Amino acid sequence: MSAVSAASTGPQALSVPAGEAPLGDLACPEPADRPDLWPTTARRTGDGELEIGGRAVSAILKQAPAPVYVMDEADFRGRAATWAATMAEEFWEGYGMRGGGAFYAGKAFLTTRVARIALEEGLGIDTASRVELAVGLAALKGDDDAPDFPPSRLGLHGNGKTEAEVGVALAHRLGHVVIDSPEEIDHAVAAVRRLRTEGIYAPDERAALMVRLTTGIHAGGHEFISTAHEDQKFGLSIHSGAARAAIDAIIAAPELELRGLHSHIGSQIADPAGFEAAAEAVLRLRHEVAADTGWLCPEIDLGGGLGIAYTGADAPAPSPATLARALAGVVRRVCEELGDEPPYVSVEPGRSIAGPSQVTLYTVTGLKRVELGEGTARLYVSVDGGMSDNLRPALYGAAYTALVANRLPDPQAGLVRSRVVGKHCESGDIVVRDVDLPADLAIGDVLAVPATGAYGRSMAMNYNLFTRPGVAWVREGEQGWVLRPETVEDLLRLEG
């Protein structure tokens, strides 16, 4: 069997090793061919440059040198507004439901500006740490031209919350405070007693809590992002009885009120069936609790995790409308079967809003042909970033793709099987594991990696003391900083 499965016609052709996809199959789709991979404003200009938000990449890079994340503000706004409208429609009271909404999962990417945009477009903000909560609280405050938003538009999530963290959430009367362990129930009781003593709560005021359930139904990609199986850190198991024990403890506590039940089954999920099965499990537990205690909790939250496409090999992901309609169908069917009033239903999209809204721009700094034997080779393309600005390939084996963004390559040059790598002292420092790039690729070319808005900047780090790139917003031909890039001086100022 030949080791060569395909070859380029160009002068720099590199053979593809046996067992790999034919040459051309891993080429990055243009925005016109796979718009779901790209921000909605991405297109090629007449000069062949990639343009986002009305700004050509050359113009973007003059104000924001590579590596840089570029956020299409109109795209982010549109995706946020779509989720808000879709949930409101599918769970509209006129359809016999009790209402629905969405909390943007801030862990995907969060700044005060981003949180404010999400709020303006009708979403709440789900936070998973004290600092994320602080950012959300800052975003609530308007100015002369914009109103304040109430703290009920915020939620606090996460495991291992301290008494101080629970206390802050309860003091601000967040809309969702999601309990993850029995200890957090104790923290909430102590916090309410203190808040009553301090006069922040009325003498008989209670704190409304949600309980995160482990339904045993999990879906998604890598094991690290599947979060509803039994043997992991999140939630309280329905199967073992831990969830019911926590629910009963909250109902029994005079300081607390059970607002709702929460489920999150994983991330990067492409099939609504997992969400549907989890929703049914949550609704049946809700009914069981009501039958035993008389308390039918008014809300359920079915979490986030809807996937997106990252490469041309990925199928387009289900739309928000597809998922919301599937969930509404389950809620309607199960509640009618059980004779229960339907709950208010919320979800927590993050990746599906932030992910496609950003593109990372890199400059090519090195080209190295690596011989693999039997006449095959791979082109290693070094760029001016790496795992410090996108950890997901190293952490999860996540796949991305890349496009030459500063020009249209010469179609006569052909393609080469390539691996885009960073500058860190790790062999696993890979930005794009396999992509077919133009054989006329040159030092100084700009590569655009799409769909990096979720968990790109939020997971960025300072390994090898790299400074974290900034996030530039673009909109109608203008740009500015969502987050400015770190500098060496920023890092030195942290030293004691």
Per-residue pLDDT 10s for the chain (496 aa) are 333 333 333 434 457 888 899 999 999 999 999 999 999 999 999 999 999 999 999 999 999 999 999 999 999 999 999 999 999 999 999 999 999 999 999 999 999 999 999 999 999 999 999 999 999 999 999 887 888 999 999 999 999 999 999 999 999 999 999 999 999 999 999 999 999 999 999 999 999 999 999 988 755 443 433 444 455 667 899 999 999 999 999 999 999 999 999 999 988 999 999 999 999 999 999 999 999 999 999 999 999 999 999 999 999 999 999 999 999 999 999 999 999 999 999 999 999 999 999 999 999 999 999 988 877 889 999 999 999 999 999 998 999 999 999 999 998 999 999 999 999 999 999 999 999 999 999 999 999 999 999 999 999 999 999 999 999 999 999 999 999 999 999 999 999 9
pLDDT at residue 397, rounded to an integer: 93
pLDDT at residue 228, rounded to an integer: 46
- Residue 465 is encoded by which pair of tokens? 């003391």
Q: Report which residue type is found at 358.
A: Q
pLDDT at residue 223, rounded to an integer: 42
DSSP 164-207: HHHHHHHHTT-SEEEE-SHHHHHHHHHHHHHHHHTTSS-TT--E
pLDDT at residue 218, rounded to an integer: 57
Alpha helices of 91-144 — where are they, by DSSP H? 112-120, 130-139
Q: Give CA–CA dist 218/235, Å, rounded.
A: 12
Q: Give CA–CA dist 116/110, Å, rounded.
A: 10
Nearest alpha carbon to residue 266 among 231, 300, 309, 217 = 217
pLDDT at residue 19, rounded to an integer: 85
Grouping H, G, I as helix, E, B as strand and the rest as coil, residue 241 is: coil
CATH 3.20.20.10 occupies which residues in the chain?
Answer: 73-354
Contact 213, 236 (CB under 8 A): yes
> What's the topology of domain 73-354?
TIM Barrel (3.20.20)
CATH 2.40.37.10 occupies which residues in the chain?
Answer: 35-72+356-493
372-375: Cβ within 8 A, 24+ apart: 372/17, 373/3, 374/3, 374/4, 374/17, 374/18, 375/3, 375/4, 375/15
Peptide bond into 298 cis (omega under 30): no
**Residues labelled as active-site residues:** 425
Grouping H, G, I as helix, E, B as strand and the rest as coil, residue 380 is: strand
pLDDT at residue 8, rounded to an integer: 39
- Residue 184 is encoded by which pair of tokens? 């957090």
pLDDT at residue 147, rounded to an integer: 87
> What's the topology of domain 35-72+356-493?
Lyase, Ornithine Decarboxylase; Chain A, domain 1 (2.40.37)
Neighbouring-strand partners of residue 326: none
